[in-house]
Structure 1
Amino acid sequence: MAVKSKKSAASETHLSIKEQTAAFLKAGGEIQQIAKGVSGREDNSGSRQIVLGKNSSR
């Protein structure tokens, strides 16, 4: 009986991302380099604070 080798989840994810990127570039897509410290978040209004634990009166 043959034993299948198991790939780690990280290895499968890495391979999947690599294949998707190659397909994207082959279809004419371009990769942009984003400057360090720039956020993709467009709407900076609103609370970013989260509260963990039991709901207490405020």
Structure 2
Amino acid sequence: MKSLTDIVSESFIWGVGITRPKAGKERLAAYYITGVLAATILGVLGAFLFVITRF
């Protein structure tokens, strides 16, 4: 069974079309991609909450 980071990474590689990481670097790439996506989602959510609490 694949881990969540592997599934997110593979989906991102197929969906966005980025180049596959080099052999041996898959785990690091999976953590990086998952981290960037999580940070982006949290940033958008934070901006949304900031805007709705100000108006």
Larger Rg: 1
Greater relative contact order structure (CA < 8 Å, 6+ sep): 2
Normalised TM-score (structure 1): 0.38
The structure with the greater share of residues assigned to helix is: 2
